[in-house]
């Protein structure tokens, strides 16, 4: 019973009271089962974190590549006074605390001891901004990448910038947000605070410093700062000088999978992990999810459907991605598809939700189920209704005339078809240069629909694999950690430790022929 006492004392000292009570009543049969699992693990498990914009998700995966636990905790943004929805901020310590609480929960649910966790890696939506003093402590709140205060005229905050060169240098075209833009805005409009800043940086850089005391960032996430020369993997002096930043004070740029080091005493105390646990560099969220989903070769596409719909394409040549106007990121540097390009249907999910709210407002049933039901009752083509969901006028104000001219069923299907048409329009631009894709791996809310994936398959003519999307980002991070510290074997096949596939959807030949003609009309109407 020695193991029982150790386990009991650990949870008694570190867990909330309700967990303490649950631990106290565990019987010997349960503890014996846990003891056998720990002996089998032999202190080899890894944690993967997906540091998302709306939630932090995590998994613990054993050396046998089995998911031992999964959990998530929502992020929290500040209610700012007189906010016109342009600004989005959060407390720097809040994310750190939530991450620590999530790790405690993961360990508890996995029924393992903290010493069994060999390492941790973090993928996430980077590009959040924070100002640090000379001791690398926060000055004020952190600013989310979704903040729009810098989205106006670029020459107002960066008068000497050559906007035509940004994409080639940093990998992404100018977005009017992310760290470069937000720091330039702070420099001009909050100069009193900015001038007291020793380290203007991304939030993830601060978080890594809190976890390991190291001043580093991976090249994938450094892209979102818009301050990195992506090809050379070094800070771009010209852009740093525009912000009065000495490039030598910026964090060291590393590769995804590089070992950062052991975690700090403070992180041990708050997360429950042991000092021996190692932090490994992760990546931006979509490359991490692609690895876990088995999307590692050219001609495969990862489609993540959320607030924005993002199509992720592994690409061998960076210049091809840049020439196509794609958001470009380093990907699998150790093998063929060294780069990846992304198409983002920005905020299309918000427009879709507005239609769903109107169509399903008075329904007592689940509104997404009702939306799927409505769409299933309409025929391909939605009786001639076309909705360009990316049209700025459509995004700002829904056309009320369609609600009096078309049935709810046709409007619901037109929304689904509009998203599929816009996706296919962008895929066609890529396939002209890099070849015809073979399949789409789809995750997110629309992937759970019983009709939407079929429409996408019929419009694009591609096979659709539906996977459990919630685990992709965090599993990708765990995979990187496990390979780097030797928990998993260092073999490319490990990238195919896929998230569980739910089903495969094939194009319907008859519908495909119909949509081929309809798509021509859709493209002509956009011009």
Give me the residues paired with residue 505 across strands.
464
Residue 365 is assigned to a structural domain of this protein: yes
Contact 204, 142 (CB under 8 A): no
pLDDT over 50 at 125, yes or no: yes
Within the chain, how many helices (H) and strands (E) appear? 22, 21
Quote the DSSP letter at residue 147. -
Same domain, 251 and 169: yes
pLDDT over 70 at 57, yes or no: yes
Residue 468 is assigned to a structural domain of this protein: no
Helix (H, G, I), strand (E, B) or coil at 517: helix
Start-to-end C-alpha separation, the chain: 74
Could you read off the pLDDT of 258-316 as tens digits, one per residue?
Answer: 999 999 999 999 999 999 999 999 999 999 989 888 898 888 999 988 778 999 999 98
pLDDT over 80 at 218, yes or no: yes
pLDDT over 90 at 122, yes or no: yes
Same domain, 274 and 313: no
Contact 304, 444 (CB under 8 A): yes
Residue 145 is assigned to a structural domain of this protein: yes
pLDDT over 50 at 76, yes or no: yes
Could you read off the pLDDT of 380-399 as tens digits, one per residue?
Answer: 999 999 898 887 655 445 66
Query: What is residue 42's predicted lDDT score, i.e. its pLDDT?
Result: 54
Reading the block at residue 132, the tokens are: 């640090």
What is the spatial distance between Cα 269 and Cα 250, in angstroms, rounded to a whole number? Answer: 28
Last residue of a domain, one of 238, 256, 280: 280
What is the spatial distance between Cα 479 and Cα 476, in angstroms, rounded to a whole number? Answer: 5
Same domain, 329 and 188: no
Could you read off the pLDDT of 329-376 as tens digits, one per residue?
Answer: 999 865 556 899 999 998 788 889 889 988 887 765 788 899 999 999
Residue 311 is assigned to a structural domain of this protein: yes
Last residue of a domain, one of 229, 250, 280: 280
346 burial (CB, 10 Å; 0-12 / 13-18 / 19+) is middle
Give the chain's mean pLDDT.
87
Domain that holds residue 208: 44-280
Q: Output Rg (C-alpha) for the chain, integer angstroms.
A: 24
What is the spatial distance between Cα 62 and Cα 107, in angstroms, rounded to a whole number? Answer: 12
Could you read off the pLDDT of 148-168 as tens digits, one per residue?
Answer: 999 999 999 999 999 999 999
Whole-model pTM: value is: 0.85
Beta strand 228-229 with 234-235 is antiparallel
Could you read off the pLDDT of 437-479 as tens digits, one per residue?
Answer: 889 999 888 888 989 999 999 999 999 998 876 788 899 999 9
pLDDT over 80 at 28, yes or no: no
Neighbours of 6 (CB within 10 A): 11
Quote the DSSP letter at residue 335. S
Residue 486 is assigned to a structural domain of this protein: no
Residue 334 is assigned to a structural domain of this protein: yes
- Angle, alpha carbons 201-332-293 (nearest 5°): 100
Helix (H, G, I), strand (E, B) or coil at 399: coil
pLDDT bucket at 86, cuts 50 / 70 / 90: confident
Neighbours of 196 (CB within 10 A): 11
CATH of the domain at 235: 3.30.420.40
Could you read off the pLDDT of 185-208 as tens digits, one per residue?
Answer: 999 999 999 999 999 999 999 999
Same domain, 229 and 161: yes
Place of tokens 């249907």: 345
Q: b/e string for 142-163 if b means 16 or more Cβ within 10 A?
A: bbbbbbebbeeebeebbeebee
Same domain, 339 and 447: yes
Residue 490 is assigned to a structural domain of this protein: no
Place of tokens 């909330």: 16
What stretches of 107-214 adopt beta strand conformation (E)?
117-124, 129-132, 142-143, 199-202
Query: What is residue 10's predicted lDDT score, i.e. its pLDDT?
Result: 40
Reading the block at residue 333, the tokens are: 């540097």
Same domain, 341 and 458: yes
pLDDT bucket at 494, cuts 50 / 70 / 90: low
> Which residues, other chains included, contact 354 with Cβ-Cβ below 8 Å and sequence gap of 6+?
398
* Phi, psi dihedrals of residue 280, rounded to the nearest 5°: -120, 140
Q: Identify the H or E element spanning 28.
A: helix 28-41
Same domain, 227 and 328: no
Same domain, 59 and 23: no
Number of domains in the chain: 3
What is the spatial distance between Cα 238 and Cα 240, in angstroms, rounded to a whole number? Answer: 6
Residue 39 is assigned to a structural domain of this protein: no
Percent residues over pLDDT 90 in the chain: 65
Contact 274, 120 (CB under 8 A): no
């Amino acid at each position: 019973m020695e193991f029982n006492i150790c386990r009991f004392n650990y949870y008694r000292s570190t867990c909330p009271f309700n967990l303490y009570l649950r631990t106290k009543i565990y019987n010997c049969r349960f503890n014996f089962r846990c003891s056998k699992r720990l002996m089998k693990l032999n202190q080899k498990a890894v944690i993967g974190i997906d540091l998302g914009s709306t939630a932090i998700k995590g998994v613990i995966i054993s050396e046998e590549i089995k998911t031992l636990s999964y959990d998530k905790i929502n992020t929290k943004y500040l209610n700012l006074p007189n906010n016109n929805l342009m600004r989005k901020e959060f407390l720097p310590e809040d994310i750190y605390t939530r991450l620590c609480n999530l790790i405690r929960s993961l360990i508890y649910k996995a029924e393992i001891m903290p010493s069994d966790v060999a390492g941790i890696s973090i993928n996430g939506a980077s590009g959040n901004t924070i100002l640090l003093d000379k001791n690398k402590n926060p000055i004020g709140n952190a600013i989310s990448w979704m903040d729009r205060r810098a989205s106006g005229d670029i020459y107002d905050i960066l008068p000497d910038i050559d906007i035509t060169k940004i994409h080639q240098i940093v990998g992404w075209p100018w977005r009017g947000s992310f760290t470069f833009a937000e720091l330039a805005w702070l420099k001009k409009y909050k100069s009193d605070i900015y001038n007291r800043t020793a380290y203007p940086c991304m939030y993830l850089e601060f978080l890594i410093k809190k976890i390991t005391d190291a001043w580093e960032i991976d090249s994938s996430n450094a892209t979102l700062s818009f301050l990195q020369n992506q090809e050379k993997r070094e800070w771009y002096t010209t852009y740093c000088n525009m912000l009065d930043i000495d490039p030598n004070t910026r964090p060291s740029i590393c590769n995804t999978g590089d070992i950062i080091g052991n975690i700090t005493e403070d992180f041990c105390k708050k997360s429950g992990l042991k000092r021996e646990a190692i932090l490994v560099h992760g990546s931006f969220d979509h490359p991490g999810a692609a690895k876990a989903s088995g999307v590692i070769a050219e001609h495969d596409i990862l489609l993540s459907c959320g607030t924005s719909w993002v199509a992720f394409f592994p690409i061998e040549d960076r210049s091809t991605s840049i020439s196509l106007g794609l958001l470009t990121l380093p990907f699998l540097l150790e093998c063929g598809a060294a780069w990846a390009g992304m198409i983002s249907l920005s905020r299309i999910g918000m427009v879709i939700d507005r239609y769903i709210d109107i169509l399903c407002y008075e329904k007592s049933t689940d509104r997404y189920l009702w939306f799927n039901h409505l769409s299933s009752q309409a025929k391909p083509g939605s009786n001639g209704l076309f909705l360009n969901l990316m049209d700025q006028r459509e995004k700002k104000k829904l056309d009320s005339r369609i609600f009096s001219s078309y049935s709810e069923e046709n409007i619901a299907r037109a929304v689904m078809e509009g998203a599929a048409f816009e996706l296919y329009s962008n895929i066609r631009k890529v396939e002209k240069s890099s070849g015809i894709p073979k399949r789409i791996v789809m995750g997110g809310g629309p992937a759970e629909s019983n009709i939407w994936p079929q429409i996408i398959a019929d419009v694009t003519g591609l096979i659709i694999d539906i996977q459990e999307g919630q685990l992709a980002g965090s599993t990708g991070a765990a995979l990187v950690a496990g390979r780097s510290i030797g928990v998993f074997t260092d073999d490319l096949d490990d990238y195919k430790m896929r998230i569980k596939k739910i089903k495969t959807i094939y194009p319907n030949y008859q519908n495909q022929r119909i949509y081929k003609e309809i798509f021509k009309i859709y493209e002509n109407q956009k011009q």
